[in-house]
Amino acid sequence: MKYNRILLKLSGEALMGQQQYGIDAERLMQYASEIKAVAATGVQVAVVIGGGNIYRGVEAEAFGLDRVQGDYMGMLATVINSMALQSALEKLEVSTRLLSGLTIQRVCEPYIRRRAVRHLEKGRVVIFGAGIGSPYFTTDSAASLRAIEIEADVVLKGTRVDGIYTADPEKDPTATRFDQITFDEVLSKNLNVMDMTAFTLCKENNLPIIVFDMNTQGNLERLLNGEAMGTLVNDGGKRDGRKPLLDPKKSLLQPLVGNQPEQA
């Protein structure tokens, strides 16, 4: 396996499957079994799931309602999806923890970085709910930020399209797919990979992104087994990796991780 720790970003919309709204049980179970398969190989898996199948803050704005209120509603939508994914994983006997950017004590732990890392080290699948807990952001931004915080090796953006194309392949039949592209090229070609906040976080922290088709069964595992698929976005080898924030030899943070109380 190429990666030790991954952050998988799934869109809420993809959870709808063929439905117009909500959660498609078959799609949900498919995602859970794919995550189970890769977690079983020892890869540490963190997941951020969107809320677009239920609510987006901009919808409130379109109706003349308060955007901030709408964004909080969107964040709650991501918690609903996260809870659904957690249940699906538990049904498959995968150990999980749901950490939320908004405090919702009865159903999830608050997001605490050291605790997230500890869960991952123990082999639990960690789901980050409620985005970053602030309005005017997206779950793509949450995926980038959390990935940087937990020092994931890569953000895997699972979509229904199998990578980044020169144009929208659903509208333009002449569009071609990039196997690999640099952060700078994405910007100069004005390609839509993630929203700009999320993308900039990855670029500035040299965190690679892979956009791939998550809806084809087995793709996640094949990707992690090194099969060429999707589009890799990185800096083209200009810089040597990211500086570890939690280097066990140098960082004061590491002993504190070990001192966290054991989670049942």
**Residues contributing to the site for ligand UDP (CB under 6 A):** 11-13, 50-52, 56-57, 70-71, 74-75, 77-78, 131-132, 134-135, 137-142
- Using CB atoms, what's the residue nearest to ligand UDP? 50
Those residues whose C-beta lies under 8 Å from the C-beta of residue 115, and which sit 6 or more positions away, are 99, 109, 260, 263
Between 48 and 229, name the residue whose CB sits nearer to ligand UDP.
Answer: 48
Those residues whose C-beta lies under 8 Å from the C-beta of residue 78, and which sit 6 or more positions away, are 12, 48, 49, 50, 51, 129, 130, 131, 139
Between 101 and 163, name the residue whose CB sits nearer to ligand UDP.
Answer: 101
Separate counts of helices (H) and strands (E) for the chain: 9, 9
Between 74 and 230, name the residue whose CB sits nearer to ligand UDP.
Answer: 74
Those residues whose C-beta lies under 8 Å from the C-beta of residue 72, and which sit 6 or more positions away, are 57, 102, 135
Between 134 and 182, name the residue whose CB sits nearer to ligand UDP.
Answer: 134
Q: How far apart are CA 104 and CA 99, in angstroms?
A: 9
Between 44 and 139, name the residue whose CB sits nearer to ligand UDP.
Answer: 139
Between 182 and 205, name the residue whose CB sits nearer to ligand UDP.
Answer: 205
Smallest separation (angstroms) from ligand UDP to the CB of 143: 9
Residue 74, token pair as written in the block: 């969107």
Smallest separation (angstroms) from ligand UDP to the CB of 41: 26
Only one residue has tokens 């099969």, namely: 227
CB 89 within 8 A of CB 32: yes
CB 237 within 8 A of CB 182: no
Pairing of strands 209-213, 231-234: antiparallel
Smallest separation (angstroms) from ligand UDP to the CB of 120: 21
Those residues whose C-beta lies under 8 Å from the C-beta of residue 250, and which sit 6 or more positions away, are none
Report the b/e string of 60-79 with b at 16+ CB within 10 A: beeeeeeeeebbbbbbbbbb
Smallest separation (angstroms) from ligand UDP to the CB of 133: 6
Smallest separation (angstroms) from ligand UDP to the CB of 71: 3
Between 67 and 246, name the residue whose CB sits nearer to ligand UDP.
Answer: 67
Smallest separation (angstroms) from ligand UDP to the CB of 34: 17
Smallest separation (angstroms) from ligand UDP to the CB of 214: 12
